[in-house]
Amino acid sequence: MKMKKLVCAIAVGLLTSAGAFAQVANVKSAEKIASSDKPDLAEARRLITEALANDETKNDPYTWYVAGLIENKAYTEGFKQAAIDQNADRTAMYTALTASVPSWLKVYELESQPNDKGKVNLKYTKKLQEVLHNDYLQLFNGGAWFLQSNKYAEGVDALEKFLDVKKAPLFAEDKDVAAIDSNAMNAAYYAIGAASSLKDYDRVISLYNRFGSFALNPKDIHQWVISAYFAKQDTAGAIPVLIEAVKASPEEPYFLVNLVTAYQKAGKAAEANKVLDDRIAANPNDATALLVKGSLAEEKDLKEALQWYYKAAKADANNANAVVYLGAGLYTAAAKIYENTNVTAAMAKTADDLLRAAVPALEIAYKTRPDNIKAMLSSIYYQLKMNDKHDAIEAGTLNVDGATLPDLTELLQGLDLTVNKTAPVVEEPAAQPAQKTTTKKAPAKRRK
């Protein structure tokens, strides 16, 4: 019985060894194919896929080296074709180069681990390092080509791998590769932006966490990442990015508004108020903080909001957001007065005063945002019968160089935006004379 078990154990061992030898042979065959002049890349990929799935070979640096070699060969063959035909589809070429990177970085990961004797042998790393050094810039070109071809998913892949190479420990001592240059900044920007366009929110956040610190245009980057967190309904995750965004772009109300709102949603009203109060205490003329105060107040109290908007516009009359919010708020207030059922002559005059006050604010905004302001300003000109200005704005010849904010203190302090909607009185219908009731008789039956 013991002998039978021993025989079975030996047989299993032999089968296992045979399987391992077969996979090693597959790797060698795949390398030979990839190194040939006319490689059968489909067959090479089949062989290496089997080896990567086998327990005996999947952790061997040699297996990963050959996996990367096959894809690099596919890229090289595609590059030769593209050099002959400038209009050739480069999808396969750049996809192969992109696919080679994880395999080759895996080689270094495995070989950099000390063996049982505490020694590190970078046998295959040395072979691939020079090749990847020479080819990695093509990942950037591939990313750009994919994006121009509206292949955003492939573009993100290529740009991400380009950045992975730059940040890889393998090239930590290679200044030419590791430098955070304009290519790296552009790659990070376009990778995050393209992932945002794809609504791949997890990837937006992942790319930001790894490469966002050196991406171009931090304002855009922060907006994409914050939007990703909000799309995932992860307010807590958005808060640290919002804090960073407020520091990087203190003049941008979008970040400050959303930071305060995020704090409120998280049940941190004290932190929300402290953010604004600290900024205003440090600088009473902080137009952005004053503007956000108004924005938060508008839903519940338009009058209070207008007072904050006015303070913001006075603090910085050239702040486009401040004058836009002030002008639009005054316009809304005028419309609100007309929501009353009974509008008196005094109320109508107040509404006209609000519209007239809105004109210079919107004219100042029109200097920098004509497309956004034109419709509202044109409507006010029409309502106030300012025909010359109405004709000019419609013709595109409006001159607003002399626009200045008036003193709105008295108007805003005395403003009453209470809306009274009295139900119309329904009169009783006049009494109608009683109608005489008549009863029709049934027709008589015909006699037979």
Q: Which distant-in-sequence residues (6+ apart) come within 8 Å of 100 by Cβ?
A: 68, 69, 71, 72, 75, 132
The predicted pLDDT at position 296 comes to 83
User: Is the pLDDT confidence value at 425 over 80?
Assistant: no
User: Is the pLDDT confidence value at 228 over 90?
Assistant: yes
Mean pLDDT of 398-427: 85
Q: Which distant-in-sequence residues (6+ apart) come within 8 Å of 427 by Cβ?
A: none
Confidence of residue 46 (pLDDT cuts 50, 70, 90): very high
Confidence of residue 428 (pLDDT cuts 50, 70, 90): low
User: Is the pLDDT confidence value at 317 over 90?
Assistant: no
Mean pLDDT of 305-326: 93
User: Is the pLDDT confidence value at 415 over 70?
Assistant: yes
User: Is the pLDDT confidence value at 43 over 50?
Assistant: yes
Confidence of residue 314 (pLDDT cuts 50, 70, 90): very high
Give the whole-angstrom CA distance, residue 287 versus residue 180: 35
Across the chain, what does the average pLDDT equal?
Answer: 89
User: Is the pLDDT confidence value at 440 over 50?
Assistant: no
The predicted pLDDT at position 421 comes to 79
Mean pLDDT of 421-437: 51
Give the whole-angstrom CA distance, residue 116 versus residue 193: 45
The predicted pLDDT at position 89 comes to 86
Query: For residue 197, what are the CA distances in angstroms to 63, 153, 203, 213, 343?
Result: 36, 10, 11, 20, 49
Q: Which distant-in-sequence residues (6+ apart) come within 8 Å of 219 by Cβ?
A: 245, 248, 249, 252
User: Is the pLDDT confidence value at 437 over 50?
Assistant: no
User: Is the pLDDT confidence value at 269 over 80?
Assistant: yes
The answer to whether 377 and 366 have CB atoms below 8 angstroms apart is yes
Mean pLDDT of 422-427: 57
| Among candidate residues 30, 32, 131, 148, the one with its CA nearest the CA of residue 79 | 131
